[in-house]
Amino acid sequence: MAIKYTKQYLHKLEDLMAETDFTLRYEKGNFKSGYCILNARKVAIVNKYFSHEGKINCLVDIIKSIEVDREKLSEKNLALYHELAQTELKL
């Protein structure tokens, strides 16, 4: 699956994150990778100054690296999660 760098795709990823145990926040910061995951607090922070493409890449990385309870996901988000598991980012 090819990643679409659109606003709608960003909203789909945000919806997927909303169904996980993690809280997604957009804030400024000096994150070397563009994001920070606080596992103890279940918070994922993405640099708010990133473009849509940067935010999408960060969210894909975050979703791949956190533990997601698949039983809590809706059908459409479960399908998106499985597609992301098979996707590799091309820089």
Q: Per-residue pLDDT tens for 77-87? A: 999 999 988 87
Q: What distance in Å separates the CA atoms of residue 54 and residue 59, rounded to the nearest whole number?
A: 9
Domain ranges for the chain, please list them.
Answer: 7-85
Is residue 82 helix, strand or coil? helix
> Other C-beta atoms within 10 Å of 47: how many?
18
Whether the pLDDT of residue 90 is over 60: the answer is: no
Average model confidence (pLDDT) for the chain?
90
For residue 5, what pLDDT is reported? 92
State CA 70 to chain mean position distance. 15
pTM of model > 0.75:
yes
List all residues 6 or more positions away from 78 whose beta carbon is below 8 Å from its beta carbon. Answer: 70
